Amino acid sequence: MKFLLLGKGKTTLAIAKFLKWKKQTVWIACNPNEQEDGDLLLDFHLLELKGIHYVIKSPGISQMHPIFKKIAKKMKVISELDLLTLFDIPLKMIAITGSNGKTTCVTMIENLLKNANYRVITCGNSHEPLFQFYDQFSHLDFIIMELSSFQLENLSFYHPYISSILNLDENHLDSVKSLKDYYRFKKNIYRYCDKKDYFIYNINISQIKEKTIPATVKRMDPSLFYKVEMYPPIKPYTTQMMVLYEIVKILQIDPLIFIKTLKQFQPLPYRQQVKKINHITFINDSKSTSVAATIFAFEQLDEQQNIILIIGGKNKHLHYEKLKKLPYYRLLIYGEISKIMRRKIKNAILFDDLKQAFCYAIHLPIHQKVILFSPATSSFDQYENYQARGKHFDALIDEYEKEINTTQN
């Protein structure tokens, strides 16, 4: 078979290595600054290629990319997951998607299955690519996959053994044609399932109708919280806990292993990390890349007063004005979205970058203040990723702490 891979990120490079191992013909098309010997240019000349069986695009290339739109009309575009079906790879997958909380959920699943002595690897969206581990597939009991909408948008026939959509809120509206398309891509996770597969269903997601799910449906069970102790670190992650509980029942895992996994849980970096210095509480929630994630972070605060909320980053065309309803003391906005927020939230204070917003926040003369950094969008206007953004916020806190210590001494 002949494959055309669009983009030259780590996902497509891993796929190319796998396909060459399978002795398939592979062409990579990329931007001029990425081009090496043998690579094609990502331009309209690709439409002249003959005999291409399948096209797989990098998650970083938008569905709205003009060249991709032309290619999709002429050639068969598939997802990287579809290769598992094409090459008849009998790999059992547990797949998780949603607008928020995916990384925490797959981490919890990995810990659960390892505690139950299953051989597993977690990959996808915030992790290493699936096909980086192709030489280990035959040695695994399960692959745990964190899936973004970009990885699901062109899914054509693959179906995971166990899957779930944690939640659905608007996101990535800068990269998809409409919010309806974004939801449709997410729902592809169960589109090709059958009754031998399981879908863990959150009945609170109004965009999903249970009768449209072809898999065996397992409803998330809120009664779980009457049965187990809510340990403080895991308390905010109720949806993830319900997914974990259904997996325990599907795989018939000892409930004591489930309890052990909950007790071991520690939040991942840049998810509502708290540090207190004198009268200021700093909360680093850099992983927040949507409005819903910021609202969620705000709701976790014990007392919603004297809160200085810092948001900012790339404009994803979300409804940021929803944040107006939050009872913050001040809203500080930096970066690309500050240009549009000038019109949408009148009482917001605008800055060029995070450091400027941080300096303003620490010098606001209010007592017992909380500085919540929960950006509500992606970082790519000024940072490589949310981790780099989170590290910068930590560094600003450290600088402030040093200044305080120097002054006190």
For 103-142, the pLDDT digits (tens) are: 999 999 999 999 999 999 999 998 999 999 999 999 999 9
Q: Which CATH number fits domain 82-264: 3.30.360.10, 3.40.1190.10, 1.10.760.10, 3.40.50.970?
A: 3.40.1190.10
DSSP letter, residue 39: P
Cα–Cα distance, 113 to 258 (Å, whole number): 9
Confidence band for 170, pLDDT divided at 50, 70 and 90: confident
The whole-chain average pLDDT of the chain stands at 94
Would you state the pLDDT for residue 18? 98
Confidence band for 186, pLDDT divided at 50, 70 and 90: very high
- On the question of pLDDT at 251 being above 80, the answer is yes
For residue 346, the tally of other CB atoms under 10 A from its CB is 8
Confidence band for 303, pLDDT divided at 50, 70 and 90: confident
Average pLDDT, stretch 78-94?
97
What does each C-alpha distance from 55 to 49, 52, 154, 362 come to in angstroms?
11, 7, 10, 51
Question: CATH for 2-74?
Answer: 3.40.50.720
Confidence band for 305, pLDDT divided at 50, 70 and 90: confident
- State if pTM tops 0.95: no
Confidence band for 341, pLDDT divided at 50, 70 and 90: confident
Average pLDDT, stretch 231-244?
93
Contact 29, 39 (CB under 8 A): yes
Ranges of each domain in the chain: 2-74, 82-264, 273-408
Confidence band for 231, pLDDT divided at 50, 70 and 90: confident
Tokens of 79: 């997802």
- On the question of pLDDT at 216 being above 80, the answer is yes
**Which CATH homologous superfamily contains domain 273-408?**
Mur ligase, C-terminal domain (3.90.190.20)
Q: What is the pLDDT of residues 348-389, one digit of tens each?
A: 999 999 999 999 999 999 988 999 999 999 998 999 999 999
Confidence band for 342, pLDDT divided at 50, 70 and 90: confident
Closest CA to 189 of 97, 127, 104: 97
DSSP letter, residue 102: H
